[in-house]
């Protein structure tokens, strides 16, 4: 069941509550949100069906959406490994979430505002009841298991996002171990702190309450994170930056062209991510209502604006508007609107999106200047756009935003929550990454990286390079001699030992 603070946090993420007649089912904020006896027989089937559909859409975002998006951007010799990192994240995180992840994130036994008791609902014990995230009798009653499934997909894709920062060069086994450790010590605690009534929520003992005070057990200025700007994108983006630094650069980084091998795959993946994101954002309302409709429109408006913002920067800077840029701009817009989608107007969403697209288009080039190899621009897109979207909510929220006359308080809270997430995620990721580096190791051998990680890690190749006319070259043309020459040339350029 959801705690009262979690229910309050859900309500506080949006300003479109006035259309419902409020009848509070729980008055005492210090007790768990227990379902009414009669509520167990009054499931809101529309809300339940909506949430199950949205959970399925979020699942689509990881496999195949993210797998195709990332897979197309890698080189031919590592595309399968890249896609397997998304599938592997799903396998590991899906099991852990059922065992103790949901309990750690949304259990009712709060432990110092950092996590909930992982054993309270271990194996999803006691989740067969009906919950109500709104506090209205007869409206929005959903099975708790529907909420479990929805949140499980968020945990999966957050871990999978990180994989883009270390493409081409890490052991698959180490990645799987990292996925289990990181989701346990970084994702679940931050999910609880933001959404489960912890330190980064609007709870009376949270950070926002400490800064601006409390009224009736709720922070006077509650953080806004409708669907995961902090929990998902800042969290994953910061982890990606730390992991890229610990693992190190790919062989030949900055010397060898590492262009996407299949741009159509990336475009298809971006399209699937966009479709799935409606489940991500609108589904976070947990009901098919007016707020969900607003979120859908805001998500679309911001994403369109971000794509155009990215393309304008490309055109001015490089002279060309690229398809990879369009796909990346789409993702930047989706990331930015995620925390703010329930609190902005459509016009505010356009403003948020166009800035997100431009900022991310500029940020992806920082890795070459600063020397960190964020292979598929997780930092440039998810961290940068996630930070902007979270802080931008404090500027553009129609009820409390600075640009709407709400003063600076909301913006200050948003900055504090974003910075707290950065620190927590960065420190936890650094400890895990260094521990794995010192024990089982991150990198594959140099000759494996040069030849292609797919063959060694998975004993497969994405494309059949054999034809009746002889073995095709690395570029897809020529015979066996061309392949050998290309491989040797690339090997020398990438600096691997002979």
**51 neighbors 142 (Cβ within 8 angstroms):** yes
Q: Which of 85, 171, 162 is nearest to 448 (CA)?
A: 171
CA distance 466 to 448: 21
Domain-embedded: residue 480: no
User: What percentage of residues in the chain have a pLDDT greater than 90?
Assistant: 81
| pLDDT > 90? residue 180 | yes
| pLDDT > 80? residue 477 | no
Per-residue pLDDT reduced to its tens digit, 222-244: 999 999 999 999 999 999 999 99
| pLDDT > 70? residue 493 | no
Distance of CA 287 to the CA centre of its chain: 21
What is the 8-class DSSP label of residue 443?
Answer: B
Tokens of 249: 């650069």
Domain-embedded: residue 451: no
- Residue 449 confidence (pLDDT): 93
- Residue 485 confidence (pLDDT): 39
Torsion-angle region of 28 (φ positive above 0: left; ψ -120 to 50: alpha; else: beta)? beta
Segment 477-496 shows an average pLDDT of 44
CA distance 90 to 94: 6
Q: Domain containing 231 — which CATH number?
A: 1.10.3430.10
Q: How far is CA 155 from CA 58, 93, 180, in A?
A: 10, 7, 11
**280 neighbors 58 (Cβ within 8 angstroms):** yes
Q: How many structural domains compose the chain?
A: 1
Predicted confidence band of residue 486 (pLDDT cuts 50, 70, 90): very low
**330 neighbors 357 (Cβ within 8 angstroms):** no
215 DSSP β-pair partners:
218
**183 neighbors 85 (Cβ within 8 angstroms):** no
Domain-embedded: residue 212: yes
Tokens of 96: 């852990």
pLDDT, mean over the chain: 88
Predicted confidence band of residue 407 (pLDDT cuts 50, 70, 90): very high
Comparing 134-143, 186-195, 419-428, the range with the smallest average pLDDT is 134-143
| pLDDT > 90? residue 289 | yes
**226 neighbors 340 (Cβ within 8 angstroms):** yes
- Residue 21 confidence (pLDDT): 37
| pLDDT > 60? residue 410 | yes
Domain-embedded: residue 240: yes
116 DSSP β-pair partners:
110
Domain-embedded: residue 101: yes
Comparing 242-256, 267-281, 311-325, 474-488, the range with the smallest average pLDDT is 474-488
- Residue 256 confidence (pLDDT): 87
What pTM, to 2 d.p., does this model score?
0.88
Domain containing 273 equals 4-438
Per-residue pLDDT reduced to its tens digit, 245-288: 999 999 999 888 899 999 999 999 999 999 999 999 999 999 99
Q: Which of 227, 218, 76, 205 is nearest to 157 (CA)?
A: 227
Comparing 38-42, 48-52, 102-106, 335-339, the range with the smallest average pLDDT is 38-42
Helices (DSSP H) in 439-475: which residue ranges?
446-451, 453-458
- Residue 62 confidence (pLDDT): 95
Domain-embedded: residue 346: yes
Domain-embedded: residue 464: no
- Residue 365 confidence (pLDDT): 93
Domain-embedded: residue 362: yes
């Amino acid at each position: 069941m959801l705690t009262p603070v979690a229910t309050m946090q859900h309500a506080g993420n949006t300003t479109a509550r006035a259309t419902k007649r409020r009848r509070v089912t729980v008055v005492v904020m210090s007790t768990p949100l227990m379902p009414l006896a009669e509520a167990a027989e009054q499931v809101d089937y529309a809300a339940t069906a909506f949430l199950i559909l949205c959970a399925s859409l979020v699942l689509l975002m990881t496999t195949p959406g993210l797998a195709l998006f990332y897979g197309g951007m890698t080189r031919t010799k590592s595309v399968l490994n890249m896609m397997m990192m998304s599938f592997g994240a799903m396998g590991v995180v899906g099991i852990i979430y059922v065992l103790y992840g949901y309990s750690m994130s949304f259990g009712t036994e709060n432990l110092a505002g950092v996590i909930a008791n992982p054993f309270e609902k271990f194996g999803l014990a006691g989740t067969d009841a009906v919950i109500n995230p709104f506090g209205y009798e007869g409206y929005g009653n959903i099975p708790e298991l529907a909420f479990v499934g929805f949140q499980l997909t968020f945990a999966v894709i957050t871990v999978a996002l990180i994989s883009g920062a270390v493409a081409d060069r890490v052991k698959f086994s180490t990645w799987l171990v990292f996925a289990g450790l990181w989701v346990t010590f970084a994702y679940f605690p931050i999910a609880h702190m933001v959404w489960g009534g912890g330190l980064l929520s609007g709870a009376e003992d949270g950070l926002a309450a400490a800064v601006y005070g409390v009224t009736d057990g709720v922070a006077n200025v509650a953080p806004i994170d409708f669907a995961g700007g902090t929990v998902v994108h800042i969290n994953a983006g910061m982890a990606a930056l730390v992991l890229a630094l610990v693992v190190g650069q790919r062989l030949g980084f900055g010397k060898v062209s590492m262009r996407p091998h299949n741009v159509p795959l990336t475009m298809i993946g971006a399209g699937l991510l966009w479709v799935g994101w409606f489940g991500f954002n609108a589904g976070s309302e947990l009901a098919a209502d007016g707020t969900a409709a607003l979120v859908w429109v805001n998500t679309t408006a911001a994403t369109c604006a971000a794509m155009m913002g990215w393309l304008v920067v490309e055109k001015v800077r490089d002279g060309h508007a690229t398809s990879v840029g369009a796909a990346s701009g789409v993702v930047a817009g989706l990331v930015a609107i995620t925390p703010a989608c329930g609190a902005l107007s459509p016009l505010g969403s356009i403003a948020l999106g166009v800035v997100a697209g431009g900022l991310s288009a500029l940020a992806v080039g920082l890795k070459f200047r600063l020397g960190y190899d964020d292979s598929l621009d997780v930092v440039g897109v998810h961290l940068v756009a996630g930070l902007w979207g979270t802080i931008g909510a404090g500027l553009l929220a129609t009820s409390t935003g600075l640009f709407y006359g709400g003063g600076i308080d909301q913006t200050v809270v948003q900055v504090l929550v974003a910075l707290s997430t950065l620190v927590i995620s960065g420190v936890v990721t650094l400890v895990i990454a260094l521990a794995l580096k010192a024990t089982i190791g991150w990198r594959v051998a140099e000759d494996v990286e040069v030849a292609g990680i797919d063959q060694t890690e998975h004993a497969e190749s994405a494309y059949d390079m054999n034809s009746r006319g002889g073995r095709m070259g690395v570029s897809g043309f020529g015979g066996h001699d061309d392949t050998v020459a290309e491989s040797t040339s690339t090997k020398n350029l990438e600096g691997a030992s002979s």
